[in-house]
Structure 1
Amino acid sequence: MTFILASACLMSYGQNFTNKGREFWVGYGHNTLFYSGNTQEMVLYLSAEQTANVKVSISNTTWVRNYTIAPGQVVVSDLIPKSGAEDCRLVGEGISQKNIHIESDVAIVAYAHVYGDYSSGATMLLPVETYGYTYASCNTGQSYDADSHSWFYVVAAENNTRVRVKPSLETASNVQRNQEFEVALNKGEILNVMGATTSAGIGNDMSGTTILSVAGADGKCHPISVFSGSSRTVICPSGAGLPSGDFIMQQIFPATAWGARYLAGITANTDNINIPGVNRFRVYVRDKLTNVYANGTKLNSMDQYGYFYDFDANTPQYITADKPIMVAQLIVSQEGCNTSASSYNDPEMIYLSPMEQAINNVSFYSAEKEHIQANYVMLTIHENGISSLSIDGSIPGPLTSTDLTLDCPGLPGYKVVVRRFPATGMQHTVRSDSAFNAIAYGLGDHESYGYNAGSYVNNLTYIAEIKNDSSSTPNTYTCPQTPFSITIKTLYTATGIIWGYGTLPGFSPNGNINYSNPVPDGTEVINGKTYNVYKQPLPALAPSTGTYYVPVTIVSPSIDNCTNSEKLVIEVKVLPGPTADFTFVPDCATKTTSFTASSSDPLIDKWRWEFGDKTLDNVMKPDKVYVAGGPYTVNMYAFRSSDGCAGMATKTVNIPGMPKVAFDQPAVVCMPNGTSNFVNKTTVPGVFTGTLQYAWDFGDGGNAADKSPTHYYAARGSYPVKLTVTTDQGCSDFITTTVSAFADRPVAGIGITNTEQCAGTAFSFSDKSIYPGTATGAQYKWTFGDITSGTAANPAKTYKQPGTYTVTMAVISSEGCISDTASTVVKVYPVPVVDAGPDMITEPGKPVLLQATVTPATAAISWSPATNLSGAGQLQPMASPLETTRYYITATGDKGCKGTDSMLLKVFKELKVPNAFTPNGDGKNDTWRIPGLEDYKNATVQVFNRWGQIVFKSTGYSNPWRGDINGTPLPTGAYYYVIQPKEGGYGTISGSVLIVR
């Protein structure tokens, strides 16, 4: 649902749509004359301010008429068909596919008029852009004859429209009160609903019926239009005579266009402008708890269902409410409401515009049909607008034969202005520099017509307000680069608001502002209604002059459409702002840069500086210290307090970088020779691509220009060291520190007990350094000549390879001074390589040759134990042990370096397998023990019963058989075994064993 809000006022309602447009729809409403000769006629009055080409057609027929309207003129259309294939009359309830469609190439105003046989009714037509989603039917009481009904019809301007109707009373098709029903419509179709007839000539008043547009087949809600009226009815049937009846039709304002303040004069009842008649006012409410007042007096006489109030008056009325209402002004029946039989009256219903929808320029048509004897325009306007008011180019007088000006007793300062026109069909124009509300009507003997002469049709549930941030009051415009905000005021409690700046190129912010579950910034009572106020959370900036349209989406569960949301398009006018400029005198970073603002506008009285480093100022001549060099984009805004508009100047300010001087000095200077390494840590904060110059002063007369120099102090002392750094842009800074920590170097010394060792034997080194103080806290750096190193004071080192190695050591004292390097040489001798030969197997006492090897061959040999050896000093002696024995060989080489190895000589004994055992649990021979078999680790044993079934098996025989099978004792008897020792020359051993129990 989209509305355009104009910023022409500080607070702008709705979308500034009026009754002027380029597309209209209207139906041929039900008329009692359909049944008495079909004598009624329907025409359209089409008026334009510029040349207009207009097409009038009847949907789903071939009937088309084209008209060209000259500027300031009115065209009366051909008679609308009432019979044949083009007949578009609404003769009964239901859907009609024949609807009157008006299309123009430029904006026009349009009215529909039905007349005939002393019957007349007319309505102002509203263009499709004013259509809404929620309506309440606004009718009159129904009293005439059996062919007359209170009715309303719904017009679909788009395909896939779906409407939900909740009748206030029973319809002619027997739909009961409050029984909802839905109907699908396509473009150009009409749903016609008529009230039921309850007794002779009396019918149900369909006022209060609600009509909602709901989601159609495409899932969308589509805007609709609703007309209300009567086939013919009497209004205010009282008095001595028979009151007259008449046909009524009016296009209803959507619920969003209802207001809270209405001002109305009283229609005349003759052709004498100075003789007021009696009008009935019907005030429609959507909420029965609405408080309604007429000239300050609270209305209490509501209809039984809570849809409306009725009251009669013969003086101007100021009607107000605390919630939105709609007001109809009714011209009563001739001789109705106790009026004279000679008065000019006939029933008519005119929907009034609220004062919030007032307009300052209308054009309308005064008709001569049917039997009209006097035409009128009646408007309400503030007295300040009287001087600029013109009706057909002339200023109305206070009281003449054609003009009348009256006070409004309920609203001081406002006037009712009436002008009578001839009873001929003609175009009229009313203008003023102040807004007004107007109705046009005509009277005759038992005859009348009337309609709203022109109106805004804005959504009054929302108000948009534009305010420049530097302005103390709302504004009608903003200026480029001026921070502004759009405040939304709504009758509803919003659950979300989106300001759609993301759709506008060049705007800041460059995305939408989403405000979820917003908390109102307060409430305001405006024209008697309480609005929730929602301020834009962040300001916006427009890029240049022009007119922009900012989409704003408001979400609320109280909004009557499919999405419970409204889209407002806020018109933002951006006018040229004041000029602005500034000058500046740049200096190095950390120094003061001076700025001065200037403008040709003498009303400039506020400034805002954005220095490009996230710092701000608000004086005319600020001094700024940049902490880092680089280019900075500086924005300066110069504001006028009168409207909050800003001029903006942007410049790039190049600030030379200032060196941030720093260096690392030695923690201690070690003597003698006082070597001091200085490491330059200078930086230039910000953007810097230039070069730096360095000037060192070491405090002892020495100087340097290197970045990170080395200096040598000849003597202890306290020396101020100063580093000065200068950029190629002339920015210079320095730092001074003191070098005063001096210490003597230690003298390294290595201690060792033995400089010669066999490979694999550790050398023991010790610290024998001389310290200026103590060795506590000293650090050590050892190298051992074989790529290994150490840090212990007294390390041990084992070499695997023979050779000569140079060992070095340097010591760092606890003060941090490192000594010169001490060194010593050690020699590592080889160890003989010994192989005792393979493990072997033999029988007891049987000689076996041991197969040892030794390198070098000159090494001395020694075997142990020497028992059962042919020679303990031989390299490969003969061995004949009776038991398994492990023999060790030792070879001794140069410097007594020894190598050793061993071998196992395994002696296998003869296996003697027992042929019986007694597994009876007496502790004697309970297992089948085979002496010596435990030495045969890989031996396999299998035992079978006499049927060849295995009852026992094992690999190795560490757990002798107990005469069972899986834990169950076997019976006494002979069993057969197969043993495979797999070592010692034995083959398979087999036989039998007897279990005796």
Structure 2
Amino acid sequence: MNHFEMGQGKIRMANIFKCPINLKLCIARFICALIFICSSVETQAQTTTKGTEFWFGFMENLTLSFNGPPNFYLLISADEATSGKIIQPRTGLEIPFIIAAETAIKLDIPSAIYYKSGSDVFSDFGFQVVSEKAIEVKAVHNRLYFSDASIVYPISMMGTNYHVLTTADFQGQNPSAFLIVASEDNTKIQITPTVLTLAVKPPGKTYEINLSRGETYQVQGNGDLSGTVIKSSDHKKIAVFCGARQAFVGANGCNSVGADNHLYEEILPDAYAGKTFVFVPMALRGGDPITIMAIEDGTNFTLTGGPITLNAGGHMSFTLYTSQWIQSDKPIFVAQYCKSLTCGTGSDGQIGDPSIFYLQPTEFYAEKAGFYAPDLFARHFVNISCPKKSLNSIKLDNASISPKFSQVNGNSDFYAASIEVNEGPHQIKSDSGFLGYAYGLDFYNAYTYGLGFKTNRVDEALAFKFKVFPNPVGDQLTLSYPLPQGYQQNITYQLYDAVGRKLLDRAVIMDYSQQEIRIDMEPFAPAFYFLNIISGENSASQSFKILKPKRSME
């Protein structure tokens, strides 16, 4: 049977060349089928936390009068040896770096204060990281007793639509916060806060700001800014970091004094919210608080009991003590927190303090992830979750760790482990995928950050479209593949004649700077042809007609 398979942004051809004896009838049917295909087809590429361009900034921490000056640094990992630099476009600061293959490094940023104090404040302190080959980046804001860290997403995973997810200070003394970093000039952003900001922007009222490339904007509010909506216009990408200047994070009524910390983590755009997650408790802490936030009305999720319903921006907090499967019927975000030291009930209640990181949906996965456990913290750990099929191949620093895993409560197909590691670089590998989170604990201090991963998910506003033109064509055919900034994709294009003979088969690399390929048609006779385009697991075909005689006939 001759047919096209179409669905979820891809078109596949199956058995298209099984022709009847009458060749003319076969060709006629073939051409009719090709004409049925639209001139622009959508497909999606894989995105990953590895990249060659990143944007980030730092948020206000504890008042500078206390606990000495802050220090800032990046943790960078790479599969291939490469070089790059940290750039602050609006100040001119540049810091070069070199990294060897399959390792991770700590890169110090020169001592200075890289944030403004207060709410609704603009600064020139946005950072860009660029590299020759793909890397992964984490940012660390370190201060005596007031530290945290964040994964930094490449520009390919930045977006235009966000919901803030953070937490209120349990003692009500310090503000929650978020920070926006612009990657382009004239970036217009609409913000709808959920609580009164410290600069008296009222809840529920949308206001607009305009940011230039490398500029940041910080918002603080007494209470919980979770659910705040942030939207960027004209498809201009922004990075959003959530947390708190400092916050006490309790659990089950614990409200002891003197155990707050800085919270800092980059959140993904709404397009990356998920429906299934694995919670893994942090070591030594005796259970962790989590917050679940919906981005759509009528969202139903389950933990251990019956379903709970939330509307868009709504959120609910729990404390979990063992691994747990989390499931929702609509996309949600899940934040996990390290609670205040004075609320710890684990085997070592004298280390740890508030910190925040976001769980990633189980459809995301990594086959390899490098990370670095920085100095100045007493103990370091990594939490790992994976499907059962990954257990036989999962390794940490080339040593098997499968005996350390146990089944996740609520889903027997997933397993989880919490493993202590030494200071320095580390690498996790698995043939079948995993997700991980690194963290460190110290006396009244902690850091957490998510490890890298990849996914087939992209922002719907950035769905890719192939275009083939003109049609009919003379001596040159143009293939257009408008990739967003930060993407690079391997493309194979194949030219067939009407009876299925392959005439061309070429591979190219396309990116934001090269969005069109011109294909010479002069060697081919006037007739109907089709171009098959392959991008990862996706393929698409486009028919066209050549009008001009081939060169040898002229």
Instruction: Report the TM-score range of the alignment, normalised by the length of the smaller protein.
Output: 0.7 to 0.9
Distance 1:13 1:291 in 2: 30
2:175 to 131, 145, 149: 149
Distance 2:197 2:255 in 1: 32
What's 1:222 paired with?
Answer: 236
Distance 2:450 2:140 in 1: 13
Distance 1:109 1:134 in 2: 23
- 1:60 positional shift: 2.0
1:392 to 388, 397, 410: 397
For 1:329, give the aligned amino acid.
Q
What's 2:322 paired with?
Answer: 315
Contact 1:548 1:573 in 2 (8 A): no
What's 1:129 paired with?
Answer: 156
- 1:158 positional shift: 1.1
Contact 2:122 2:218 in 1 (8 A): yes
1:174 to 180, 197, 200: 200
What's 1:64 paired with?
Answer: 94
| Correspondence 1:355 to 2:369 | no
TM-score, normalised to structure 1's length? 0.43
Distance 1:452 1:504 in 2: 48
Contact 2:163 2:227 in 1 (8 A): yes
What's 1:98 paired with?
Answer: 125
Distance 1:104 1:129 in 2: 14
- 1:248 positional shift: 0.9
| Correspondence 1:500 to 2:481 | no
| Correspondence 1:48 to 2:78 | yes
- 1:57 positional shift: 2.5
Contact 2:284 2:348 in 1 (8 A): no
Shift of the 241–222 alpha-carbon distance from structure 1 to 2, 3 Å rule, reads closer
- 1:378 positional shift: 1.3
Contact 1:14 1:458 in 2 (8 A): yes
What's 1:571 paired with?
Answer: 535
Aligned counterparts, 1:859-878, within 5 A: none
Distance 1:5 1:280 in 2: 38
Report the secondary structure of 2:117's partner residue.
coil
Report the secondary structure of 1:172's partner residue.
coil
What's 1:36 paired with?
Answer: 66
What's 2:333 paired with?
Answer: 326
Unaligned runs of 5+ in 2: 1-7, 12-41, 480-497, 512-532, 540-554
Distance 1:267 1:540 in 2: 61
Shift of the 31–543 alpha-carbon distance from structure 1 to 2, 3 Å rule, reads farther
1:187 to 186, 205, 213: 213
The structure whose residues are more often strand, as a share, is 2
For 1:379, give the aligned amino acid.
I
| Correspondence 1:289 to 2:277 | no
Distance 2:442 2:223 in 1: 28
- 1:368 positional shift: 2.4
Unaligned runs of 5+ in 1: 196-202, 215-219, 271-276, 399-403, 463-487, 489-496, 513-538, 552-568, 576-997
What's 2:142 paired with?
Answer: 115
What's 1:256 paired with?
Answer: 271
What's 1:24 paired with?
Answer: 54
Report the secondary structure of 2:290's partner residue.
strand
Write out per-residue CA displacement over residues 309-365 of structure 1, whole angstroms, 9 at most, x where no aligned residue: 211111111111111111111111123276688353311111111112122111111
Shift of the 114–5 alpha-carbon distance from structure 1 to 2, 3 Å rule, reads farther
For 1:313, give the aligned amino acid.
L
- 1:13 positional shift: 9.8
Report the secondary structure of 1:413's partner residue.
strand
TM-score, normalised to structure 2's length? 0.75
| Correspondence 1:212 to 2:226 | no
Shift of the 454–241 alpha-carbon distance from structure 1 to 2, 3 Å rule, reads same
Distance 1:68 1:174 in 2: 45
Larger RCO: 1 or 2 (CA < 8 Å, sep 6+): 2
Shift of the 504–360 alpha-carbon distance from structure 1 to 2, 3 Å rule, reads farther
What's 2:428 paired with?
Answer: 430
Aligned counterparts, 1:617-696, within 5 A: none
What's 1:88 paired with?
Answer: 114
Distance 2:71 2:10 in 1: 40
- 1:26 positional shift: 1.4
Distance 1:150 1:299 in 2: 25
Distance 2:380 2:314 in 1: 32
Write out per-residue CA displacement over residues 262-297 of structure 1, whole angstroms, 9 at most, x where no aligned residue: 112111126xxxxxx211111111124100111464
Aligned counterparts, 1:515-530, within 5 A: none
Contact 1:377 1:419 in 2 (8 A): yes
For 1:571, give the aligned amino acid.
S
What's 2:414 paired with?
Answer: 414
Contact 1:6 1:571 in 2 (8 A): no
Report the secondary structure of 1:355's partner residue.
coil
Report the secondary structure of 1:459's partner residue.
coil
For 1:500, give the aligned amino acid.
K
Shift of the 549–19 alpha-carbon distance from structure 1 to 2, 3 Å rule, reads same
- 1:204 positional shift: 1.7
What's 1:726 paired with?
Answer: none
Distance 2:387 2:258 in 1: 36
Contact 1:550 1:572 in 2 (8 A): no
For 1:382, give the aligned amino acid.
P
Aligned counterparts, 1:901-980, within 5 A: none
Distance 1:142 1:540 in 2: 69
Distance 1:540 1:437 in 2: 47
Distance 1:318 1:251 in 2: 23
Shift of the 390–298 alpha-carbon distance from structure 1 to 2, 3 Å rule, reads same
Distance 1:99 1:550 in 2: 28
What's 1:160 paired with?
Answer: 186
Distance 1:540 1:224 in 2: 48
Shift of the 44–321 alpha-carbon distance from structure 1 to 2, 3 Å rule, reads same
1:450 to 448, 451, 461: 448
For 2:281, give the aligned amino acid.
I
For 1:360, give the aligned amino acid.
E
Write out per-residue CA displacement over residues 421-455 of structure 1, whole angstroms, 9 at most, x where no aligned residue: 12x2x111111111211111112232221111112
Q: How many residues align?
A: 457
Contact 2:50 2:136 in 1 (8 A): yes
What's the RMSD between the two structures over aligned residues? 3.5
- 1:414 positional shift: 1.2
Contact 1:316 1:408 in 2 (8 A): yes
Distance 2:92 2:478 in 1: 50
Distance 1:65 1:572 in 2: 35
Shift of the 504–211 alpha-carbon distance from structure 1 to 2, 3 Å rule, reads farther
Shift of the 504–362 alpha-carbon distance from structure 1 to 2, 3 Å rule, reads farther
Distance 2:156 2:356 in 1: 24
What's 1:378 paired with?
Answer: 383
Report the secondary structure of 2:391's partner residue.
helix
Distance 2:438 2:95 in 1: 27
Write out per-residue CA displacement over residues 678-724 of structure 1, whole angstroms, 9 at most, x where no aligned residue: xxxxxxxxxxxxxxxxxxxxxxxxxxxxxxxxxxxxxxxxxxxxxxx
For 1:333, give the aligned amino acid.
S
